[in-house]
Chains A and B, each alone.
Chain A
Amino acid sequence: MFRSTLFLISGLLLSTTLLAAPDGARLYERHCSACHGLEGEGGVGVPLVLPSFQRAVEDDFLFTTIRHGRPGRVMPAFTSLSDAQVRAIVDHLRSWAPERPQQAARPVRKPAHGKPGRGKALFAQHCAQCHGANGEGGHGTGVTFSRPRDLPVMAPALNNPGFLAAADDHMIKRTLMEGREGTPMVSFLDAGLNEQQIDDIVSYVRSFEEEPLHWQYDRDEAPAITMESSYDLQTTVENIKRAAVGKNFRIIRIQRLEDGLFEEGEQNEKQVIVYFCNFNFINEALSLDPRVGLFMPCRITAVEKADGTVELMAINPRYMSRLFNNAELDEACTRMHNLYESIIEEATL
């Protein structure tokens, strides 16, 4: 009894000290820096350090963005961090902009009295070329480092449940009035729109809420594509090579699954991997998301089972795709899925 009480008390003490002062810098480093850069300069994610950004948003916007993420737009939802931890991260982001003018804790959510119909036309004219015709966001990820592209910073999705939950009308309006200096997002006051037109656009962006684009993936997608071959192992491997080359892939290597894991001569000879690739495809995929190396190189494995039958297997790119939270990858993954399937079919028939 005494002991367990002690245990409980020390547990409570430990937990309060742990929760009392979450280390924002460390949390940021662990959860955010891979994408947003060690100093918020951007990368796979957009920059967070720019004064023009820091000025435009309230702490609430940052808090909600971290909680909801941006579904289908790479930025994950951090649902299991505690409120205190999220606040510590927000404080850390703010430490980059100590001169940020102090604003009211939260401006009244004053709806802009705009006309969404007029805003729609203005959006098509002034915004769609960067943010997409339906506000689905620009192509690719964050900031260009390794890839040539048209915009140095990707335009975020506006028709996105995470963005719409985080951004109030005030923030959107402010962003349109002031722009984001240091990014392609200019001030639309300077660009010649008047405040009424800006209110119209704000109301149109707000109207996305009525029917936001929801990124959907199929939860029932199987993790792997498999098929039985009617040939022996050797012939099947040759068939895979021929079928892949027929689909414009280059064979880069044939190896056993256990190569590099076991000494020469000790590897299982019944598990053979054919690796192949297509540079145009790789290049295209990398421009959508630099993390797609995890799909590479393309690979089909032929396995001879104990009863002598040979089975072909590949990852299912459509299953993998959801892990990236990147709607833009879906189409490429479907194409890859279909290519795998047709190569496997051809090799087994």
Chain B
Amino acid sequence: MKRPLRLLSALLLALLLNPLAAEEESLLMMRSSQSFPEAMLAVQKTLGEYGYTVSRVQRVDIGLTASGFETDRYRIVFFGKPEEIRHLSGEHPELIPYLPLKMTIFAEQDETLLVALDPTALDDIVDDEAFAQLTMRWKNDIIAIMDELREY
């Protein structure tokens, strides 16, 4: 009696504590009601608070307005934890094209959209339990960061 009960409760608990377990969307997205410059600052600040270094903010909009695109507010934010990136690029060079992580941020009228790759998609590349845990942590961090940005 004791055993199955404990097993059951463990199972229940696992179910309860794992609300993010099976998200089928493979891009992580959020809409912020903040304007682009505000959202841009908030993203960088919040990434920092979660221990990530923003290695570069890349504009892709120079020349876009010239070719008819109506927003010049489109950036790519590259980020990562330095030691993690170094370790992974040494241990699993096949990951290098996907490092560091990145997020796209762009304006839609007076709101701002954020889009990131779901890092667990990288589990296809490296078949390794420790790596799967790492990408799950990245994913949860990105979701938490997006949740926080929503509250701004």
Contacts and interface: CB of A to CB of B under 8 A. Distances in A.
Interface in B15-60: 15-16, 21-27, 29-31, 33, 53-56, 58, 60
B108 A311 contact: no
A8 B76 CA distance: 46
B94 A43 contact: no
Interface string A1-12: 100110110011
A34 B32 CA distance: 8
A38 B31 contact: yes
B27 A323 contact: yes
Given A35-B29, A146-B108, A283 B53 contact: no
Given A7-B9, A260-B53, A293-B104, A33 B31 contact: yes
Contacts of B85: 257-258, 261
Interface string A22-52: 0000000111011101100001100000000
A311 B75 CA distance: 29
Interface string B62-101: 0110111111001110101010011001000110111110
Interface stretch (A128-136, A238-246, A295-303): A295-303
Contacts of A126: none
B132 interface: no
A259 B106 CA distance: 24
Contacts of B93: 303, 305, 311, 313
Given A5-B5, A323-B118, A313 B96 contact: yes
B134 interface: no
Contacts of A262: 82, 86
Given A280-B67, A297-B58, A80 B22 contact: yes
A114 interface: no
B150 A223 contact: no
Contacts of A4: 2, 5-6, 9
Contacts of B69: 146-147, 283, 286
Nearest to B33: A38
Contacts of A303: 93, 96
A314 interface: yes
A294 B108 CA distance: 17
Contacts of A37: 31
Interface in A65-121: 76-80
B31 A43 contact: yes
Contact of B60 (A33, A282, A313): A282
A294 to B, nearest CB: 5
A277 to B, nearest CB: 7
Contacts of A322: 26
A290 interface: yes
Nearest to B113: A34
B55 A260 contact: yes
B1 interface: yes
Looking at A79, A224, A311, which has the most chain B CB atoms within 10 Å of its CB? A224
Interface in A307-336: 311, 313-315, 320, 322-325
Given A1-B2, A15-B15, A315-B98, A290 B113 contact: yes
Given A5-B5, A279-B64, A257 B96 contact: yes
Contacts of B99: 257
Nearest to B118: A323
B26 to A, nearest CB: 4
Looking at B21, B31, B82, which has the most chain A CB atoms within 10 Å of its CB? B31
A291 interface: yes
Closest 6 CB pairs of A and B: A260-B55, A293-B104, A34-B29, A80-B22, A146-B71, A11-B12
Interface of B: 1-2, 5-6, 8-9, 12-13, 15-16, 21-27, 29-31, 33, 53-56, 58, 60, 63-64, 66-71, 74-76, 78, 80, 82, 85-86, 89, 93-94, 96-100, 102, 104, 106-109, 111, 113-118, 121-122, 124-125, 147, 150
30 contacts: A4-B2, A4-B6, A12-B12, A35-B29, A76-B25, A77-B24, A79-B24, A80-B21, A146-B108, A147-B70, A258-B86, A259-B56, A279-B66, A280-B67, A283-B64, A283-B67, A283-B68, A286-B69, A290-B108, A293-B75, A293-B104, A293-B106, A294-B116, A296-B58, A297-B76, A303-B96, A313-B93, A315-B97, A324-B27, A325-B26
Interface of A: 1, 4-5, 7-8, 11-12, 14-15, 18, 29-31, 33-35, 37-38, 43-44, 76-80, 145-148, 223-224, 226, 257-262, 268, 271, 275, 277, 279-280, 282-283, 286, 290-291, 293-294, 296-297, 299, 301, 303, 305, 311, 313-315, 320, 322-325
